[in-house]
Structure 1
Amino acid sequence: MFEVLVFVYENYWRGDACPEPEQLGRKLSAHGFEAEEIRDALQWLDGLSLATQGLQFEHQASEGDDDNAITTARVTLGGAPEAALPQSSQSMRVYSPSEQEHLGAECLGFIRFLELSNVLPCGLREIVVERAMAAPGDPVALDELKIIVLMVHWSTGIEPDALVLDELCESREGRTAH
């Protein structure tokens, strides 16, 4: 399934540029992906679409400080946008035992790293966790979680900065520590 997701990410610059599921399925089949992989990926993408439906992410910079941009979400309910409550700097996300088991320590640590780096605001984090819980594997591999994070950003139209994109796309193998 993850190979299909990577193909979709690389070939469609944003979620709204992606064709409808039937047409996408035909294109994926023409590129040689197995029917089961395509079906799993399309179901996962459908869940991603539902999770991000009605969300509009806005970047708000603090006065005079472009480096500390805050991302807020607006959820459209019945046509009227309502601001999502911002997460308090003193709040803490507690993961359920099933989330801890399915995600594993390495993925939970990576999610926390992205949060502390201001790459994954709480709204996006919840979508990443929800989509990771819908992914196969027990626990989910870190490389697969990175693909999930990329797909969540892709679906919302938020492009991570170059350093984060490098971290998400590059494998840790072969890196030399300095």
Structure 2
Amino acid sequence: MFDILMYLFENYIHSEAEVFVDHAELTDELTRAGFHQEEIYKALSWLEKLAELQQSDTRPYLTQTEFNSVRIYTAEEMHRLDAQCRGFLLFLEHIQVLKAETREMVIDRLLELDSREISLDDLKWVVFMVLFNVPGHESAYERMEDLLFDEPLDGMIH
């Protein structure tokens, strides 16, 4: 399913191609590209749920001390998101790429992926997709794009 999401993101969303493609036409194209029908439906459902999340009025409970609070992960979240992934989410919050509501959207979409454990690379791409799809987060999207594509030359972050 994640391969399909990446394919759609690279060929439609990120390339600024026409996003409003007929569902049946898109399914046919993905089938011709070699993806299985069941995985196509899962990926399209994943994207539809992302759209529903951004239109929802539901927001996580926030206090005045939002920046001093800590997100407590459930047992399932801790099982699927290792310490490296949770640490990266915290890092993204501290550098203000993610806010509480976008963090929750990212976690929601990560848990809907059909893999038992989520890699750091998968996490980065889901953050990238969520930020792209949430209006008003263009600067956070650009910062995430820099984090995703600008690799340090010697492998170290200065």
Shorter chain as denominator, the TM-score bin is 0.7 to 0.9
Q: State whether structure 2 residue 77 is matched by structure 1 residue 99.
A: yes
Q: State whether structure 2 residue 151 is matched by structure 1 residue 168.
A: no
What is the distance in 1 between the residues matched to 2:75 and 2:7?
32
After TM superposition, the structure 1 = structure 2 runs for residues 42-121 of structure 1, keeping only pairs within 5 Å, are: 42-54=44-56, 75=57, 88-121=66-99
Higher helix residue share:
2
Q: Percent identity?
A: 33
Amino acid at match of 2:95: S
Distance verdict in 2 for CA 1:163–1:127, change over 3 Å: closer
User: How far is the alpha carbon of 1:90 from its aligned partner?
Assistant: 2.0
C-alpha offsets along residues 26-70 of structure 1, whole Å, 9 cap, x if unaligned?
22223332323312211211221221224xxxxxxxxxxxxxxxx
* Worse-matched range after superposition: 105-114 or 4-13: 4-13
Amino acid at match of 1:168: L
Count of matched residue pairs: 151
Distance verdict in 2 for CA 1:103–1:20, change over 3 Å: farther
What is the distance in 1 between the residues matched to 2:105 and 2:143?
22
Aligned to 1:11: 11
Q: CA RMSD in A?
A: 3.0
Gaps of 5+ in 1: 55-74
What is the distance in 2 between the residues matched to 1:95 and 1:37?
28
TM-score normalised according to structure 1 size = 0.70
C-alpha offsets along residues 152-176 of structure 1, whole Å, 9 cap, x if unaligned?
112214334545213234679x862
